[in-house]
């Protein structure tokens, strides 16, 4: 096996850079360094940590052009969406800096023999295993919460975004974080798996496929190490009879194509009641036809290429398998004969259980339209998935839609009459095969802390 990795520009299919993989021995030494750093980093004050996070936020903004260019080169992100990702990451840093101390402040309670202090203490080195699709955000969202809590972290990034991995570590160091507080390790999956066994690794946070995530969780569980998993999904967006069709179509298209369709919490299955199905489909089809797939650096591009050739090939196989099983391909569905790993916006209809478009996650710009009889069937189909990350409901009866979202939708997040990605002040995560644990909103910062109870007996 080669010990080098070459990153490829998915729009041009040309090499971007070459990187040498870190050996297992060097990676273990990096964990040792992180543990050494933890011994004094845990003793710093929240104010000291917050000051560095504010500096990191400023540096992220100052390096916006460089970060966006790297996203576009390494994984094909549309430049405008790259700018949004950079802004979100700076906002996450500031939110964590401004709210971390409050979220982790000691609590005081009375018990029969005296009073008790409940304190949230850091636990050590956290291993992060992160994907390529939001190459800055995925790293920032978990790492800043952990360093604010007093932990240190080592991070294995996806190999096609190793340039971003290196740049993130440079920004942490420039922001004044001590060496070893945050480290990007250019390692493969096998080495990352070995690191889980390192006694200094106290927890693992993983974002990626449910198949690999379950393997990571199993290995960590055998060592009694906590994990947080944010895995795939096949999010259902339900369109009820009283929905504003124009508003619903606009949000559903946005939810399907954001980040070239390569988003875990993207809208993927569209469940439409029979009464308005044809109207929704015709409007959705018109909107999809107007989308421009092309150069991710161009201002008028809606979707760029998929991140890698193997990912495009896998998506196409899922589309073909669904069509062979009885789905109708209303638009797209053919790999274009052009340079770059492009895939056309695609619409599948007559999608049924047993098809990849119904059962699995299609990680690309493919929309699955499903016709149902009524609201009850719509919610049944929405929940008929092994996944449970996000979802949506469109209805002019907001109160009823909200009630369905709270009581019926078996997911971690639900949109009502819109589509939103992550927000710094709101918890993000799922249920079922979409994983467990939460990021953001004051919840993520408590995932890897020791909730310690100190009981002080009364002197009387």
**Which tens digit of pLDDT belongs to each residue from 417-455?**
999 999 999 999 999 999 999 999 999 999 999 999 999
> What is the domain count for the chain?
2
Q: Write down the pLDDT at residue 138.
A: 98
Query: Helices (H) and strands (E) in the chain — how many of each?
Result: 14, 18
Q: Are residues 346 and 447 in the same domain?
A: no
Written as six digits, the tokens of 283 are 């409007």
What are residue 4's DSSP bridge partners?
A: 20
Q: Are residues 272 and 418 in the same domain?
A: yes
What are residue 331's DSSP bridge partners?
A: 347
Q: Are residues 99 and 224 in the same domain?
A: yes
The CATH number of residue 386's host domain is 3.40.309.10
Judged against a pLDDT cut of 80, whether residue 213 lies above it is answered with yes
Q: Are residues 284 and 365 in the same domain?
A: yes
Contact of 240 with 417, CB cutoff 8 Å: no
Q: Write down the pLDDT at residue 144.
A: 98
Q: Are residues 39 and 84 in the same domain?
A: yes
Q: Are residues 152 and 242 in the same domain?
A: no
Judged against a pLDDT cut of 60, whether residue 132 lies above it is answered with yes
Judged against a pLDDT cut of 90, whether residue 296 lies above it is answered with yes
* Residue 205 domain-assigned (yes or no): yes
Which member of 74, 85, 103, 230 is catalytic?
230
Q: Are residues 304 and 345 in the same domain?
A: yes
* Residue 392 domain-assigned (yes or no): yes
Active site residue 230: yes
Beta-carbon contacts of residue 427 (< 8 Å; ≥ 6 apart): 412, 438, 439, 440, 441, 442, 443, 444
* Residue 449 domain-assigned (yes or no): yes
Segment 367-375 mean pLDDT:
98
Average of per-residue pLDDT values in the chain: 97
* Residue 15 domain-assigned (yes or no): yes
The CATH number of residue 70's host domain is 3.40.605.10
Q: Are residues 115 and 208 in the same domain?
A: yes
Segment 291-318 mean pLDDT:
98
Q: Are residues 199 and 240 in the same domain?
A: no
Which member of 37, 73, 264, 375 is catalytic?
264
Judged against a pLDDT cut of 60, whether residue 311 lies above it is answered with yes
Contact of 351 with 369, CB cutoff 8 Å: yes
Q: Are residues 367 and 387 in the same domain?
A: yes
**pLDDT-above-90 percentage for the chain:** 99
Domain that includes residue 43, residue range: 4-231+434-457
* Residue 428 domain-assigned (yes or no): no
| Banded model confidence at residue 216, pLDDT cuts 50, 70, 90 | very high
Q: Write down the pLDDT at residue 118.
A: 98
Q: Write down the pLDDT at residue 1.
A: 53
Q: Write down the pLDDT at residue 90.
A: 98
How many Å apart are CA 46 and CA 101, to the nearest integer?
A: 6
Segment 310-321 mean pLDDT:
98
* Residue 173 domain-assigned (yes or no): yes
Q: Write down the pLDDT at residue 460.
A: 74
Q: Are residues 262 and 409 in the same domain?
A: yes
Active site residue 89: no
* Residue 429 domain-assigned (yes or no): no
Q: Are residues 443 and 398 in the same domain?
A: no
């Amino acid at each position: 096996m080669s010990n080098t990795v070459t990153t490829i520009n998915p729009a041009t299919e040309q090499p971007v850079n070459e990187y040498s993989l870190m050996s297992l021995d060097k990676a273990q030494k990096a964990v040792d360094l992180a543990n050494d750093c933890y011994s004094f980093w845990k003793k710093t004050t929240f104010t000291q940590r917050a000051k560095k996070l504010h500096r990191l936020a400023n540096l992220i903004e100052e390096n916006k052009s460089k970060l966006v260019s790297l996203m576009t080169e390494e994984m094909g992100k549309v430049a405008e969406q790259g700018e949004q990702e950079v802004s979100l990451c700076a906002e996450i840093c500031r939110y964590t800096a401004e709210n971390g101390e409050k979220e982790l402040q000691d609590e005081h309670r009375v018990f029969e023999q005296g009073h008790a202090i409940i304190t949230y203490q850091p636990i050590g080195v956290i291993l992060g295993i992160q994907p390529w699709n939001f190459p800055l955000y995925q790293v920032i969202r978990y790492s800043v919460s952990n360093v604010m809590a007093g932990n240190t972290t080592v991070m294995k990034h996806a190999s096609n975004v190793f340039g971003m991995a290196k740049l993130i570590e440079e920004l942490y160091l420039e922001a004044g974080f001590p060496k070893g507080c945050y480290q990007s390790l250019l390692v493969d999956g096998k080495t990352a798996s070995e690191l889980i066994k390192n006694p200094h690794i106290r927890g693992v946070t993983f974002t990626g496929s449910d198949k690999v995530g379950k393997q990571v969780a199993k290995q960590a569980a055998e060592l009694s190490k906590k994990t947080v998993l944010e895995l795939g999904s096949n999010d259902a967006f339900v369109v009820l009879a009283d929905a504003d069709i124009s508003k619903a179509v606009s949000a559903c298209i946005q939810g399907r194509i954001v980040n070239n369709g390569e988003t875990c919490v993207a809208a993927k299955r569209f469940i439409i009641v029979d009464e308005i199905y044809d109207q929704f489909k015709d409007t959705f089809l018109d909107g999809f036809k107007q989308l421009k797939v092309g150069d991710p650096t161009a201002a008028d591009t809606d979707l760029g290429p998929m991140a890698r050739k193997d990912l495009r090939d896998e998506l196409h196989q899922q589309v073909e398998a669904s069509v062979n099983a009885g789905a109708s391909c209303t638009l797209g569905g053919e790999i274009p004969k052009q340079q770059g790993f492009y895939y056309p916006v695609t619409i599948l209809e007559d999608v049924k259980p047993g098809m990849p478009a119904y059962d699995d996650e299609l990680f690309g710009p493919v929309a699955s339209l499903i016709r149902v009889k009524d609201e009850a069937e719509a919610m049944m189909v929405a929940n008929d998935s092994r996944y449970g990350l996000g979802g949506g409901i469109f209805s002019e009866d907001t109160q009823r839609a909200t009630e369905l979202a709270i009581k019926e939708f078996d997911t971690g997040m639900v949109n009502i009459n819109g589509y939103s990605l992550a927000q710094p002040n709101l918890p993000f995560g799922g249920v079922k095969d979409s994983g467990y644990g939460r990021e953001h909103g004051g919840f993520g910062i408590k995932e890897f802390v020791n909730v310690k109870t100190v009981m002080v007996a009364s002197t009387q």
